[in-house]
A = this chain, B = another copy of it.
Amino acid sequence: MAFISPMAAKATRAEPSARGNARGLLSREEVYGRIRRRSEELCEPLEIEDYGVQPIVDASPPKWHLAHTTWFFETFLLVPFRKGYRPFHPSFEYLFNSYYNGVGEPFPRPSRGNLSRPTLAEVLAYRRHVDVAMAPLLVAEDVEVQARLELGLNHEQQHQELLVTDFKVTLGSNPLKPAYRERNGETLRTALPLAFRHFDGGLTEQGMDAGGAFCFDNESPEHRVWLEPFALANRAVTNGEYQEFIEDGGYAQPALWLSEGWAWVCRQGIYAPMYWRATDDGWQEYRLDGEGAVAPHLPVTHVSFYEAEAYATWAGARLPTEAEWEHVARGASPRERSPQRGRARGASPRNSSPDSHEPSAAVLAGNFADSGRLHPAPAIPGTDGEAAPMQLFGDCWEWTSSAYRPYPGFTPLPGTLGEYNGKFMSGQQVLRGGSCATPEGHVRATYRNFFYPPDRWQFTGIRLAKDA
């Protein structure tokens, strides 16, 4: 499985590793330990009762995430590669399989919230059991083992994001509106003016070949794409801007909506982003630090693809394609600052050479889960000027105009792991860039996330684009 770069190789290159947000030299054991611990740390503010609840089918109980990520290591590493390994419990294979038909019939997803057993204590014991058993594999030189290990850790990071969004649903849909963390005062209370930067288009590259750093199979292979000239907004759409759309009757004008989107609005009675509530005191929004007035300068989040499209139409713009987005992000992504950067075909903001616009990742990236904020933050301009696309990474996943389909030459992983991505390539839209719930270092310019058009329990947002 050559497309997965062995984690060890990179760690020994003593380069900053995107994974585990590590800086400096980390052993495989340390990376494994950090990532595994992180999942449990995220749950620390929860009550035992919060671990089992599943208010919407899309979400899963935290307890389930903790067990499922462990099941992944047990199923794809311990069982095939550690002789004599005895699974922790004979039923867990069935209970904590998410959707791998190759491993047998999974337990029905909508019923995950009905499983009061195993208890949290038993699930934590399961984690300990697997972690202990994994120790020898962490130092194994087997390439396949290393590749699966890296996949397993990236998989766990994905579930760390889902942990956050899923317990947000549980807490946010509870009439008591319990907070997950305390609210801190914010210093920055305004948003930058919206501006568009132009790009020339032309023949560019998209995706990433296996064999170098880690990527998921759906990002491969790297391939050429032709882009027409376009412009991209410097930041995500804000709550304040979105409120103008609402006040202008955005949710009442079918002409702004895709046909499916309009049907969704009517059938579900949608009139605002998820977690917004109209009160006598104006719009309130539930955030993980509790419910409060909608802050106009923050990026709007928890909107569906339908809402993103309708907003863009209303604003006289459109959503970017994933190729456009990536074209820009390859110039801005932190991972392109490495020596291999020369290989990158970064976007050239009009009238300037790529080199003269070396992006400063520290400025351009938004906030990730590691900040503990767990909510989008306002864009902060860097040295490149206010029109430079900011917060492409972090804050909000950005809906793109592109349906989630395979790249030319796409080949799924062999065997059961091939069910990881490929079989979901219908009916979904691509999102790019990660969010405030994404572990720092987990995403990159080529990273493809995907959700169904009506989904909005993730931290999804809107970045506008235009033909140029």
Chain A residues engaging chain B, CB cutoff 8 angstroms: 47-55, 63, 91, 94-95, 99, 101-102, 107, 111, 113-120, 170-171, 173-176, 178, 203, 223-228, 230, 254-255, 257-262, 305-306, 309, 321, 401-403, 405-406, 408-409, 418-419, 423-427, 453, 467
The 3 residue pairs across chains A and B that have the minimum distance between CB atoms: A403-B403, A101-B254, A55-B114
* Contact across chains for A255 and B101 when beta carbons are under 8 A apart: yes
Q: Once the chains are docked, how many angstroms separate the CA of A120 from the CA of B95?
A: 26
- How far apart are the CA atoms of A92 and B436 in the complex, in Å? 33
Sample of 17 A–B contacts (CB below 8 Å): A49-B52, A49-B63, A49-B117, A50-B117, A91-B176, A113-B114, A114-B173, A114-B174, A116-B171, A118-B176, A224-B228, A258-B423, A260-B427, A261-B426, A306-B426, A401-B406, A427-B453
Minimum CB–CB distance from A304 to chain B (whole Å) comes to: 11
Q: Take A99-B259, A226-B225 as given contacts and tell me if A120 and B402 are in contact as well, using a CB distance cutoff of 8 Å.
A: no
Q: A94 and B174 in contact (CB under 8 A), knowing A52-B53, A258-B423, A405-B402?
A: no
Q: Which chain B residues border A50 with CB–CB below 8 Å?
A: 116-117
Please give the count of copies of this chain that the complex contains: 4
Closest to A101 in B: B254
For A175, give the chain B residue with the smallest CB separation: B91
Q: A260-B426, A403-B405, A427-B453 are in contact. List 12 more A-B contacts (CB 8 A).
A: A49-B51, A52-B52, A52-B116, A94-B175, A95-B176, A101-B262, A114-B173, A118-B176, A230-B408, A261-B426, A306-B426, A402-B405
> Which residues of the partner chain B approach A102 to less than 8 Å between Cβ atoms?
255
